[in-house]
Structure 1
């Protein structure tokens, strides 16, 4: 069976995350530079081969000081680990439109197997005749599982940065 190659449409995609700050509000961030290699055997994406990477130096939380701290050895250590990567081992249909993506997530040189909920929106042809596919991945990971341990205790109790990271990934893929 012939395989189909897909690329990310960067103008309609976002690799985002949220982390609790001071234990009561979320700080949002995203990676501005990323790439993926996606190949499929059919239009269902269930046998998709997905490899993804994001450039740590492209992290953007709308605060230059915080971005610099996240790039430092306290967190991602961008100098020694310039990319985070994900290699999917499966994309399984749970029920209509709802999927689970599983694979190896590598951050700061540490690889862990993760399973994340996903939505596959199916295929659509845009006004210019291009075939597009929508894949939304969300879920939670614990940053400490990848050695992102830095924190600061608050005088009022608790910590400055939450351990749980909520992932909010919106991908629009373009058929090649």
Structure 2
């Protein structure tokens, strides 16, 4: 019993000061992309140019990760200015009232090898729904400047009507299913 108490006392300071490692997204090597059908016959692609995200994790495989991501919806970019303006209007994102969308991860589970499932809450406009992303973990590497980096690809599909984005609901002008494709690179924050 005495040895157990001594061991607890000896290791207590280590557990008291254990902190999660923070990984911040690298916007130069991250992209938040989407595509949706137009008139049921072709895909229209777009992306968001401004965003910020972070991961808090103690484990090397990120299975304890706490993930937060915020996207500036005013940065929507389909390479067609009139369409981007329309997407910002009340027909779609209502950016004056809802300038950001948010994702808060609730779990990241390893399925097999480098494949994971990320679950969390996605908020678009005034609606928050649970979503699941299929994730491929690309691994970690030390870059030429000594920074630890981690890479992920994440995909999911959402029903835009669930988020009160109803334009064209009755005429199939824009498909209801929006595919999200995220290419993510994070840099470990230095102590």
Q: TM-score, normalised by structure 1?
A: 0.94
Query: Which stretches of structure 1, 4 residues or longer, exceed 3 Å deviation after superposition?
Result: none
Residue 36 of structure 1 corresponds to which residue in structure 2?
53
Tell me if 1:74 matches 2:91: yes
Tell me if 1:46 matches 2:63: yes
Higher CA-based Rg? 2
Q: TM-score, normalised by structure 2?
A: 0.87
- Structure whose residues are more often strand by fraction: 1
Residue 172 of structure 1 corresponds to which residue in structure 2?
185
User: Which gives a bigger RCO, structure 1 or 2 (Cα 8 Å, sep 6+)?
Assistant: 1
Residue among 104, 118, 126 paired with 1:109: 126
Residue 161 of structure 1 corresponds to which residue in structure 2?
174
Q: Unpaired runs of 5+ in structure 1?
A: none
Q: Distance in 2 between matches of 1:20 and 1:72?
A: 19
Residue 105 of structure 2 corresponds to which residue in structure 1?
88
How far apart are residue 152 of structure 1 and its match? 6.6
Q: Distance in 1 between matches of 2:169 and 2:70?
A: 29
Q: Distance in 2 between matches of 1:140 and 1:10?
A: 23
Q: CA RMSD in A?
A: 1.1
Deviations 1:103-146, CA, capped at 9 Å, x for gaps = 10000110001111111112111122111000111021111111
How far apart are residue 2 of structure 1 and its match? 2.6
Deviations 1:128-169, CA, capped at 9 Å, x for gaps = 211100011102111111110110766xxxx21011111110
Contact 2:153 2:182 in 1 (8 A): yes
Q: Distance in 1 between matches of 2:147 and 2:39?
A: 45
Residue among 23, 38, 49 paired with 2:40: 23
